[in-house]
Amino acid sequence: MWKKIFEVALGIVTSLGGFLEAGSIAAAAQAGAMFSYQLLWPIALGTICVICLIEMAGRLAAVSHHPLPSAIRERFGFRYHVLLLIVGTIVDLLVLASEIGGCCVALQLMTGIKFQAWAIPVALLLWILLWIGNFSVIEYGVSTLGLLTVIFIVAAIRAGPDWSAAAHGLVPTLPHHGKPQYWFLAVSILGATISPYLFNFYSSGAVEDEWDESDLWPNRITATLGMGFGGTMSMAVLIAAALALHPFGVKVEDYDQIGRIVTQPLGRWAFWIFAPALFIACFGAALELSLDVAYVYAQTFGWNWGENQKPADAARFVTVFTCFIPLACLFSLFGMDPIKLTMFSMAITALALPLIVMPFLVLMNDKNFVKDHGNSWVGNTVVFVCVILAFVLAAVAIPLQIFGGT
């Protein structure tokens, strides 16, 4: 009993550390700065979707002992999975590059040394931790430090928002100006929130932790409370930006401007929490992304895999993230703008959503995988809505990147 409660508590902490990262912070801050509270609704919508899909990914893993990538390969065949692998590799590379960029900028804010100089040290630290650590270190250690991101909630409350106006932001309304930018940010927020790597990482982690059917209720609590509170933190970033930046017409072009959303209501001291929080949030996401791509490749080709295994026992699994991390760090090393890279990667993420979301409709109703724990009609309705949303996002992502990207 107490062991399960402890697992739930740690799982919630893990979700808090992994939910708010470079994409969520940048997209929410830009949305608040440009459109005040009007883009709270995609955060709320994305959070509801990700809660349901994360719960399903954990349920699938607990009942079938299959991580999501492995189940997709077995149910839909190798060709479909290879397509998913190719698209996922491109998306994960871009998102990992943006997370490494976020880490580098955080270190620049703390030291004054240009972010390009931090690219190799951050990549090396990332690789070392993955090489010597186990899954518990990744899952709980770094993610626990991610609780520093609660500073955004404190800043939002301290700034004294008009809660009635904020509530109106939960209902979609078009702005009087900048409609392409508005929809571009809405797509970016949804892409940042419903990130495909979360489902792969979460389900693979459940298999590593040897979940079974007794873990179904902790999984539901973890998905609901963890992801729900993560969504609340994203909303807090938007609200704080709406109060600190929007009245002055500030357009978010770098992370230093994002820092103003905590220093304005809380004082200069809050900067020394913001910068480490940014680093930890991005670093935690970078760890998950590096593991995710290794999980997917290993599960695609039937290799031995697992962060709990010694590198020598899962050599090809380790080789994947060993090659992937240096490639991703090149973007920061050559000085690509971290904010622009982050926003671009979030929009491109939307292109991959249909490939990863659509299989949920089949897998979560297949008794060979979920036995008697399949979706109810409510669950199937939610997945259907998510599939439609994913296709819409994929269709508009590139045009909005062209006409609404900044």
pLDDT tens readout for residues 105-115: 999 999 999 99
In this prediction, residue 226 carries a pLDDT of 82
Q: What is the pLDDT of residues 277-314, one digit of tens each?
A: 899 889 988 988 998 999 999 998 889 998 888 888 99
In this prediction, residue 263 carries a pLDDT of 94
Residue 16 has pLDDT above 60, yes or no: no
Q: What is the pLDDT of residues 178-192, one digit of tens each?
A: 888 899 899 888 888
In this prediction, residue 33 carries a pLDDT of 94
**pTM as predicted:** 0.91
In this prediction, residue 404 carries a pLDDT of 59
d(CA 349, CA 370): 28
Please state which of the ranges 55-59, 78-82, 332-336, 402-406 shows the lowest mean pLDDT.
Answer: 402-406
Q: What is the pLDDT of residues 345-400, one digit of tens each?
A: 877 888 788 888 899 999 999 999 999 999 999 999 999 998 898 888 878 776 76
Q: Which of 240, 271, 246, 233 is closest to 156 using CA atoms?
A: 240
d(CA 29, CA 236): 9
Alpha helices (H) in 194-270, listed in sequence order? 196-208, 216-221, 227-244, 255-266
d(CA 25, CA 277): 11
Q: What is the pLDDT of residues 193-236, one digit of tens each?
A: 888 888 988 898 889 888 899 889 889 988 888 888 889 989 99
Question: Does the 2-403 domain belong in CATH 3.30.465.10?
Answer: no
